[in-house]
Structure 1
């Protein structure tokens, strides 16, 4: 990794921490600099503005998310979809930190209609993630594991469902039915709708 790449990676990490601590509405370049081991001027050297930085951060999140789903994870198409749902709906690691970050993301998305550059990057992220889902579904169909569904339509449904569950978790807090939503995604959206032979071996049938 070059020096510039290493610096940008450190800025992305600092941005993540600042977003989790302050939320999007109160996020400033200074808040990011406070989480950054080097100077604030170095942030400005790489990014012209907060908006420019946030667009880069969204692209960074996309790369991290796809790598988490596809890089070294399960090969089975069902398990890859389930992994994607788990990351988005339940989160990984510390529950409080995950919710803080999801809260910041929701605030960022809420501003997208008013910030064209932000919206453009969110549109691109959504397009690429739906593409990953559609490719996983095609793979499952080709292997005979999934029913012959429309991959693009399924991807749109899956993406909207997991993002909706994440937003529900942020908005309702501890009252959100997050575990139930995740279980429903597994049982109905993946197993009932996709699996060619019903519930796969070893999957929880909910006691039915």
Structure 2
């Protein structure tokens, strides 16, 4: 499964959204203009104005497209809840393998900041948080049903885990060192072993 929603695109609209994504990663939100997006598109800039009225409408459409893609990739069935949770932690805590990965993180932090004063962005990130939290809850409930996790209030645990992982994401993107990431990841897993995993699961 590809983690890039724009690995393959079809039609003018998706080409514009892919160009927006690349421009965001390369230039950041503050320096993003329709002209910059037009340069990435490598087609007439008038195509952008034909479909979108301005920068933020286009960026929000790009975010919605990416979130829809994410939802479509989330597995409805969870074969191993513990492995699934720990893989999610690893993805967020693992060192970046390339500069583009850091560029993506920085772009999302910039966009999230717009939600402080822009209702449209706030609504998007409210939905985005809900999608991630609901997925975490579904994994936890699968673990409870299979006996891998102890019985708990899955929604509350998912909320705490969601906020914790978001905090890690924000911090790693906005500080000068990530040397703290391995210990943080290990301690988070250790906390799950003490509070969520069933005794038989922790002994595996």
Stretch of structure 1 that moved more, 166-175 or 112-121: 166-175
Deviation at 1:168?
0.9
What is the aligned counterpart of 1:191 among 166, 190, 193?
193
Instruction: Write out aligned runs for 1:137-176 (5 A).
Output: 137-175=140-178
Structure 1 spans left out of the alignment, 5+ residues: 202-208
1:89 Cα shift? 3.6
In structure 1, the residue matched to 2:15 is 10
Distance in 2 between residues matched to 1:58 and 1:13, nearest whole Å: 11
Q: CA deviation at 1:80?
A: 1.9
What is the CA RMSD across the aligned residues, in angstroms? 2.5
For normalisation by structure 2, the TM-score amounts to: 0.83
- In the other structure, the counterpart of 1:96 is 99
Between 1:41-50 and 1:135-144, the stretch displaced more is 41-50
Choose the corresponding residue for 2:120, options 117, 127, 132: 117
Preserved contact between residue 71 and residue 131 of structure 2 (Cα < 8 Å) = no
Report the alpha carbon displacement of residue 134 of structure 1 after superposing the two structures with TM.
0.8
Q: Which runs of 5+ in 2 are unaligned?
A: 1-8
